[in-house]
Structure 1
Amino acid sequence: MVRDDLYITVPSFFRCPISLDVMKSPVSLSTGVTYDRSSIQRWLDNGNNTCPATMQVLQSKEFVPNHTLQRLIQIWSDSVRHHRVDSAANSPPHSVLSQEDVLELIKFVDCNSVSSSFDSLSKIVCFARESEDNRKFLARTDGFVPMLVDFLANAGDGDSGGGVYFLEQVVSLLDMIFKEIEDHEQLTNSMIKSNNNNNRDCLASLILILQQGSIESRIGSARLIESVAMDAESKLIIAEKDGLLRELLKLIGPEKDPNLMEAGLSCLIALSMPRRVKVKLVHIGAVKSLAKTLSEPNGSVSITEKVLKLLETVSSVKEGRKEICDDGKCVEGIVQKVLKVSATVTEHAVTILWSICYLFRDRGAQEAVTKANGLTKILLLMQSNCSPSVRQMSADLLKIFRLNSKSFISCYDTKTTHIMPF
């Protein structure tokens, strides 16, 4: 059985209707409903004009502190703290949940409502974070993964946002135990290849997390999407979900958290294999967004590699090549990364330049490469210890530029002409 000290009875009116957590700074709307300040502020900042609990249109978005409730919560919190101190004095240090405890918690979560199960699910999350053995245990517990998928499909309420914090716990668990799950195909089928009548589907819940979740949960959501994108069919289903690609693209702005950017880029790369997805990425502005990220001077090696990998992917379709060619700053940014960051970055960059300048023969792109001193870099690259494929693409590029410019040699400083291959 679960130890008694795992359960702290929280008065329901102490919980924020949005986060389901005990309120730290309770404030009341004009509808009379009280929320935690940070939760309702985020709700309003997202452009909503209704009361999340009642869905009434707000006549005013102003809220007032509920000092009486805050005092009551403080008194209750102090009493709980004293109880925990007394309990700790009489219990062994570093006590953790046993597998039997977790099984009881799973039964409790499965049989109760979202609001009453939040604390129990949080304890299971902590259990999963403790060790790989714990994650294996959860993945192999009968009914646990289907229960999480069912929560993901049905627990979120996109209109009120009340289920976001619960869904964050569900996403965190699925992300942590995914590699321990034996039948990935069955999980993918249950998450994205079937819907539950009129109920919300899993992808809609994942979009909700991408929109409103914490950085950690958005990273988990992106990783989970990448994990279930196992084949061409699943990639297309995910990519065609309204709004999903746009939300992933929002994760990669240069002002974003680096870990969040990496998760978003990895997920987009995984989804972008089918041609239809590449075209859709171009249409929603992926090239412009990637070019902006590429222009940042302090980007990490890993992020730069992923940005160029995604640009290389979209350059394989004519819509992507046209978008790259039309953006002179994007071409310039690609040229600047050659021989500057890593061998992987150089290979991606040269492949893109080869695609737009040699295959697509875009004169505007060729001029942008010349203006960015790209020919000198290609010449230097020919003298470096690059891979055979990069050497061949560089040679093709040099041929194109020689054919298109009679004054090709004269555009170089005499200090570099000795490395001309022709």
Structure 2
Amino acid sequence: MGKNGLYINVPNVFRCPISMDVMKSPVSLCTGITYDRSSIQHWLESGHDTCPATMQVLSSKDFVPNLTLHRLINMWVQSSTRRPESESSVISEEVVKVLMEKIERESCVDSLSKVVELVSSSEDNQRFLARFGGFIEVISGVLRKKCVEIEALELVVSVFNSILSETGIKERLNGLILKSNQESDCISSIISILRDGKLKSQIQSVRLLESIAIDEESKRKIAESSEFFPILLNLMRTSADPTLNDTVSSLLITVAETPKAKSQLVQNGIVSILSSTITDQNNKNHDKAMKLLAAVSSCSEGRLAIREDSKCAAGIANRLLKVSKTAAEDGVTVLWSMCCTHKDERVKEALVKSDAVAKLLLVMQREGEEGVVRRRCADLIKAVMAGCKGEYLAGYQTKTTHIMPC
């Protein structure tokens, strides 16, 4: 690693500071900086009167062919076993500064695309850019601008997803996106991607929001947008992509901690979506669906929605032995809350019809001799059996007498 770069697969001096490609026709400006002819011509023809690398005002826009460098590049190309155009992992301070200046001034899609290319090429580039002074601030600034095209916003989110694992980045992004004076603009930009962006960008946006939801204040601010829950639930309702559904569920679990958030989830139809999820054999999102049902069952609106959904309670019971132990605990918690704490007769009746007692007995056997889940299963069985109507009770006893609690 050199002072100004990362992997030196190609000598930095051979690369154009604008395009970052190996120069085919190197020319020098009056500032002494050398660029590829096509790149610097485009820069000057765009109306600029400064040197891209130094930002000095040019006393002359003439440039001189750098024949010595041209010969060295040709010699290197001839001796190299790789095509110079394919090398794109090198990054220098000069290049980053030029890109930052263009992005800050114009939110340029081309420049953002180049940044995405760089962060995608190596972990070293990710670390370099994550630590580069002012880089995160400039990129996040695009989210606060008005009338930015959706492609630019998608590229910003892609950059952030590539560097989220770097030390301290989540905290910095939390401050820049959620705790600035313009956090509503940032959230609105991300929500516009969720609404209108490509599938990959939608997934990246959801992951970004979950990553920066690191404290109660952050979760509250994310959920405050009036569009947040409707758009996410619409994605769950309409998208067949399992990765998108999984990431959306994870984000909802993260932010659905306050009574207000739970109420908004219920108002936007979360229970019917989750009911369809747990009754769909081909859906792989059962565990998180159970977790979300447990969350909304702690509010009165959620319990009412579960009660009114004809498939939900039975679906939970039928899924108890087909999910993880943690998800089964969530499912038991929902049913226990409905039947034992709030004594919902309609849910008890649904459990009777779905032969839930047999499944609860098997969960008890799996749990062993002690534990909250086992005790709640026992409470549920008593509540369901006590609430059985005569026409169901005889058949129920016939079905379950061969299964004895441990």
Q: Please give the TM-score of this superposition, normalised by the length of structure 1.
A: 0.72
Identical residues among aligned pairs (%): 37
C-alpha separation between the residues in 2 aligned to 1:234 and 1:416?
Answer: 48
2:313 to 313, 318, 331: 331
C-alpha separation between the residues in 2 aligned to 1:392 and 1:195?
Answer: 50
1:392, CA displacement in angstroms?
Answer: 1.1
The equivalences for 1:321-400 within 5 A come to 321-385=303-367, 388-400=371-383
The equivalences for 1:240-319 within 5 A come to 240-253=224-237, 255-300=239-284, 303-319=285-301
Structure 1 residues 398 and 171, CA gap change in structure 2 (3 angstroms): same
1:367, CA displacement in angstroms?
Answer: 0.7
1:95 to 77, 80, 87: 87
For 2:164, the aligned partner's letter is F
Q: The residue matched to 1:288 in structure 2 has which SS?
A: helix
Q: The residue matched to 1:176 in structure 2 has which SS?
A: helix
Structure 1 residues 105 and 259, CA gap change in structure 2 (3 angstroms): farther
1:11, CA displacement in angstroms?
Answer: 9.2
C-alpha separation between the residues in 1 aligned to 2:395 and 2:125?
Answer: 64
Report the equivalent of 2:102. Answer: 112
Q: Are residues 1:171 and 2:154 paired?
A: no
Report the equivalent of 1:189. Answer: 175
**Any idea what the Cα deviations from partners look like across 1:311-352, whole Å, max 9, x if unmatched?**
111111121111111112112221220112332332221111
Report the equivalent of 1:402. Answer: 385
For 2:270, the aligned partner's letter is A
Report the equivalent of 1:151. Answer: 142
1:276, CA displacement in angstroms?
Answer: 1.6
1:363, CA displacement in angstroms?
Answer: 0.5
Q: Please give the TM-score of this superposition, normalised by the length of structure 2.
A: 0.75
* Contact 2:358-2:403 at 8 Å conserved across structures: no
Structure 2 gaps, min length 5: 1-11, 22-37, 44-73
C-alpha separation between the residues in 2 aligned to 1:397 and 1:144?
Answer: 56
Q: The residue matched to 1:242 in structure 2 has which SS?
A: coil
1:210, CA displacement in angstroms?
Answer: 0.3
Report the equivalent of 2:24. Answer: none
Q: The residue matched to 2:402 in structure 1 has which SS?
A: helix
C-alpha separation between the residues in 2 aligned to 1:267 and 1:349?
Answer: 20
Of structures 1 and 2, the larger Rg is shown by 2
C-alpha separation between the residues in 2 aligned to 1:402 and 1:200?
Answer: 52
**Any idea what the Cα deviations from partners look like across 1:15-46, whole Å, max 9, x if unmatched?**
xxxxxxxxxxxxxxxxxxxxxxxxxxxxxxxx
For 2:113, the aligned partner's letter is S
Question: What is the root-mean-square deviation in Å for CA atoms of aligned residues?
Answer: 3.0
1:183, CA displacement in angstroms?
Answer: 5.8
Q: What is the total number of aligned residue pairs between the two structures?
A: 338
* Contact 1:328-1:365 at 8 Å conserved across structures: no
* Contact 1:314-1:320 at 8 Å conserved across structures: yes
* Contact 1:172-1:217 at 8 Å conserved across structures: yes
C-alpha separation between the residues in 2 aligned to 1:345 and 1:214?
Answer: 31
**Any idea what the Cα deviations from partners look like across 1:160-187, whole Å, max 9, x if unmatched?**
xx61001111001112212314264443
Report the equivalent of 2:15. Answer: 3
* Contact 1:315-1:321 at 8 Å conserved across structures: yes
The equivalences for 1:120-135 within 5 A come to 120-135=111-126
For 2:163, the aligned partner's letter is I
C-alpha separation between the residues in 2 aligned to 1:416 and 1:401?
Answer: 13
Structure 1 gaps, min length 5: 13-85
1:135, CA displacement in angstroms?
Answer: 1.7
C-alpha separation between the residues in 1 aligned to 2:405 and 2:244?
Answer: 44
Q: Are residues 1:211 and 2:195 paired?
A: yes
Structure 1 residues 110 and 200, CA gap change in structure 2 (3 angstroms): farther
1:409, CA displacement in angstroms?
Answer: 5.8
Structure 1 residues 119 and 89, CA gap change in structure 2 (3 angstroms): farther
Structure 1 residues 254 and 112, CA gap change in structure 2 (3 angstroms): closer
Any runs of at least 4 consecutive aligned residues in structure 1 with deviations exceeding 6 A, and if so which? Answer: 7-12
Structure 1 residues 11 and 315, CA gap change in structure 2 (3 angstroms): farther
Q: The residue matched to 1:328 in structure 2 has which SS?
A: coil
For 1:167, the aligned partner's letter is L
C-alpha separation between the residues in 1 aligned to 2:283 and 2:216?
Answer: 31
Report the equivalent of 1:55. Answer: none
Q: The residue matched to 2:164 in structure 1 has which SS?
A: helix
Q: The residue matched to 1:179 in structure 2 has which SS?
A: coil
C-alpha separation between the residues in 2 aligned to 1:397 and 1:308?
Answer: 17
Q: The residue matched to 1:338 in structure 2 has which SS?
A: helix
C-alpha separation between the residues in 1 aligned to 2:170 and 2:209?
Answer: 13
C-alpha separation between the residues in 2 aligned to 1:112 and 1:395?
Answer: 66
For 2:291, the aligned partner's letter is K
* Contact 1:167-1:209 at 8 Å conserved across structures: yes
